[in-house]
Amino acid sequence: MEKIVIQGGVPLTGEVQVSGAKNSSLPLLFATLLADGVSEICNVPNLRDISTAVKLLRELGADVSHHGDCIRVDARRIQSVEASYDLVKTMRASVLVLGPLLARCGHARVSLPGGCAIGARPINLHLKGFEALGARIQLDHGYVEATADRLRGAKIYLDMPTVGGTENLLMAAALAEGVTVLENAAREPEIVQLAEALNSMGAKIEGAGTAIIRIQGVERLQPLNCSVIPDRIEAGTFMIAAAITAGDLLVRGAVEEHQEALISKLVDAGVLIRPEADGLRVVGPEKLQPVDIRTSVFPGFPTDMQAQFMALMTKADGTSRISETVFENRFMHVCELQRMGADIQIDGHSAIIRGCTPLTGAPVMATDLRASASLILAALAAENTTEVSRIYHLDRGYEKIEKKLAALGARIWREQE
Q: Name the residues that contact ligand EPZ, by CB under 6 A.
A: 23, 26, 93, 119-126, 160, 162-165, 303-304, 326-327, 369-370, 397
Taking the least distance from each CB to ligand EPZ, the nearer of 109 and 126 is 126
232-249 burial string, b = 16+ CB within 10 Å, else e?
Answer: bbbbbbbbbbbbbbbbbb
To 5 degrees, how large is the angle CA 376–CA 261–CA 295?
70
- Distance in angstroms (rounded) separating the CA atoms of residues 2 and 393: 11
Min separation Cβ 231 and ligand EPZ, Å? 9
Q: Which residues pair with 353 in a beta bridge?
A: 320, 344
Residue nearest to ligand EPZ (CB): 164
For residues 416 and 409, what is the distance between their CA atoms, to the nearest angstrom? 22
Q: Closer to ligand EPZ at the Cβ: 23 or 193?
A: 23
Nearer Cβ to ligand EPZ, position 128 or 339? Answer: 128
| Min dist. Cβ of residue 326 to ligand EPZ (A) | 5
Give the shortest CB-239-to-ligand EPZ separation in angstroms.
Answer: 16
CA–CA dist 220, 224 (Å, integer): 12
Helix residue ranges, H only, 9-153: 22-31, 48-59, 85-90, 98-105, 124-132
Minimum distance, C-beta of residue 304 to ligand EPZ, in the bound complex (Å): 5
Which residues are the active-site residues?
116
Which DSSP string corresponds to 324-345?
--S-SS--HHHHHHHHTT-EEE
For residue 120, the minimal CB distance to ligand EPZ (Å) is 6
Residue 225 C-beta: closest distance to ligand EPZ, Å: 22
Pick 288 or 371: Cβ nearer ligand EPZ: 371
Taking the complex as a whole, how short is the minimal distance between the CB of residue 93 and ligand EPZ, in angstroms?
Answer: 4
Strand arrangement, sheet containing 13-17: 13-17, 248-252, 279-283, 272-276
Can you tell me the distance from the alpha carbon of 302 to that of 306, in angstroms, rounded to the nearest whole number?
7
Cβ proximity to ligand EPZ: between 119 and 270 the closer is: 119
Q: Give the H/E segment covering residue 283.
A: strand 279-283
User: Residue 372 or 382: which CB sits closer to ligand EPZ?
Assistant: 372
Nearer to ligand EPZ, 39 or 166 (CB): 166
> How far is residue 49's CA from residue 52's CA, in Å, rounded to a whole number?
5
Residue 311: name the closest of 333, 293, 294, 326 by CA: 333
Cα separations in angstroms, 16 against 32, 54, 74: 30, 27, 33
Q: Which residues contact 290 (CB under 8 A, 6 or more apart)?
A: 269, 313, 316, 317, 318, 319, 320, 353, 355
